[in-house]
Structure 1
């Protein structure tokens, strides 16, 4: 389940998006809605959603001004706006997607699907995962890689060496991890 909030000064825009999310994206739990940037800031900091649907053109504080005031942006940002001229600026704000109003159902579903696929990518450290995963199945070969030992196709000798996985990917083995890895196969 992914959580989301909607920030839009137009009530009908909020209602339309809420209904589309309810009807077509059941994996989204809507945590709240805000009618302006100030409310939106408070809602983001209070609820810590996975996704923020943000309108750009709002009175007093527009969407970009609101984003400037956030100390950190640890959510997927999806702009929902009637104006396409902000697309380039939205990219600079690391927008995950940019949906034009009225929001197209298929584009909305596609954006949510891509967020779900990225939710598989995590914001934890490799050490966190190394501690969570069973050591008899998973092995950290390098500071950047943890592999499932059941999917090793072959070991390629070298300073630390490399592992070829069954899917054709090659993973580096750090020199300091080489002996520990080879012990797993003895």
Structure 2
């Protein structure tokens, strides 16, 4: 397997040295071609060396990683963000399907992140300007995460959670059923992975197979079992063990 040519970027020397040591020792399929301590150095090195992969700290001098990504001319690389940000920022990374490492970096997490990049090297896409802007706003807290990034096998969709009628598990994938003419999107993540990212005041898991948007719930049909009748006409079964929880939630809202 061909090695990924990587640039490591962090404005704290101790962090940069430790990351460099870990990558060189534990990620044998990665070649470190440059280590940058400053924003300006990173700006030059990325455009000159054209790396395959960036390990990129969020805060760089008085700038941010997102400023750097917008300013560089060369754009064809994958990114693993490194961050010491709080839980809200981590949720933003997951929400936007971005790869990240939480400081202090653990070796197992590093190996897993690099493995994920390698596995999806030929099929996944590079972050574009709109994704970078959305991720920047979410991570830095400029405004709440108001749309969901859905990565499929051949495209990336951006959808407003309010447009989701329900989500259906399909093995390791999740199918999104949306408002506009029953349009469907298939995402390459499991239903369980999305469950923790969605607003719990709006979405409820009624079954191992389904998460519903309660604003699209018309009624609960008790004939021949319990079913959620949704705004698009679909009737979805409610599992026995989740029925009481759903009814309790609805009574308290």
**What band does the TM-score fall into relative to the shorter chain?**
0.5 to 0.7
Q: After TM superposition, give the deviation of residue 18 of structure 1 in Å.
A: 0.5
Residues 46, 91 of structure 1: alpha-carbon distance in 2 compared, 3 angstrom cutoff: farther
SS, match of residue 119 in structure 1:
coil
Verify the 8 A CA contact 1:21 1:28 in the aligned structure 2. yes
Q: After TM superposition, give the deviation of residue 46 of structure 1 in Å.
A: 0.9
Query: d(CA) in 2 for partners of 1:91 and 1:6?
Result: 22
Q: 1:52 aligns with which of 50, 54, 61?
A: 54
Q: After TM superposition, give the deviation of residue 6 of structure 1 in Å.
A: 0.7
- Normalised by the length of structure 2, the TM-score is 0.44
Structure with the largest fraction of helix: 1
- 1:5 and 2:7 correspond: yes
Please name the residue that 2:89 is paired with.
86
| Structure 1 unaligned regions, length at least 5 | 124-143, 145-186
SS, match of residue 59 in structure 2:
coil
Q: After TM superposition, give the deviation of residue 91 of structure 1 in Å.
A: 6.3
Deviations 1:130-167 (A, max 9, x none): xxxxxxxxxxxxxx9xxxxxxxxxxxxxxxxxxxxxxx
Query: d(CA) in 2 for partners of 1:80 and 1:119?
Result: 20
Deviations 1:93-120 (A, max 9, x none): x674111111111111011111111224
Deviations 1:23-65 (A, max 9, x none): 1111110000111222111111111111101111222222121
Q: RMSD of the TM alignment (CA)? A: 2.3
Query: d(CA) in 2 for partners of 1:53 and 1:87?
Result: 16
Please name the residue that 1:24 is paired with.
26
Q: After TM superposition, give the deviation of residue 67 of structure 1 in Å.
A: 1.3
Query: d(CA) in 2 for partners of 1:95 and 1:18?
Result: 25
Query: d(CA) in 2 for partners of 1:75 and 1:58?
Result: 19
Verify the 8 A CA contact 2:47 2:73 in the aligned structure 1. no
Query: d(CA) in 2 for partners of 1:115 and 1:2?
Result: 9
| Structure 2 unaligned regions, length at least 5 | 126-153, 155-253
Query: d(CA) in 1 for partners of 2:90 and 2:44?
Result: 25
Please name the residue that 1:149 is paired with.
none
SS, match of residue 63 in structure 2:
coil
Structure with the largest fraction of strand: 2
Query: d(CA) in 1 for partners of 2:51 and 2:73?
Result: 15
Please name the residue that 1:101 is paired with.
103
Instruction: Indicate the structure whose relative CO is greater, using CA pairs within 8 Å and at least 6 residues apart.
Output: 1
Q: Which contiguous aligned blocks of 4+ residues in structure 1 show a shift greater than 4 angstroms?
A: 88-92
Residues 65, 95 of structure 1: alpha-carbon distance in 2 compared, 3 angstrom cutoff: farther
Query: d(CA) in 2 for partners of 1:19 and 1:25?
Result: 10
Aligned residues: 123
Please name the residue that 2:79 is paired with.
77
